[in-house]
Amino acid sequence: MFSLETANIEKAINNAKALHPKVKMIEFGTYEVTGSKCNTYTVKCYRAHGEKIVECNCATRDGIACKHSMAAVSLHIAMAAQRGH
């Protein structure tokens, strides 16, 4: 879990761009991402205590952005824009 406002996300964004993971929306805020070894990860995007929080169930340590989360965040932002959030 990490906050979009405080996490260093540049490396994760670059890794996601290189991987081109497949992202599927389960429901708004919950996404399924296929990783580099065909594993699937669940990513959740939500607001808590005024912060934008992202959680991925991969092995990446808390506070560190992963490529799966950045792939899901890009879809989440697009979906939020369509919904007017």
Check pLDDT > 90 for residue 69: yes
Average pLDDT value for residue range 29-48: 93
39-50 pLDDT, tens digit each: 999 999 999 999
Mean pLDDT of 52-56: 94
Question: pTM here?
Answer: 0.87
Please, what's the b/e burial string for 47-66 (b: 16 or more CB within 10 A of its CB; e: otherwise)?
A: eeeeebebebeeebeeeebb
- 54 in Cβ contact with 42 (< 8 Å): no
Is the pLDDT at 57 greater than 90? The verdict is: yes
Number of other CB atoms surrounding residue 45 within 10 Å: 22
Task: Check: CB of residue 71 under 8 Å from CB of residue 25.
Answer: no
Main-chain dihedrals φ then ψ at residue 64, nearest 5 degrees: -110, 130
Give the pLDDT score at 81.
Answer: 92
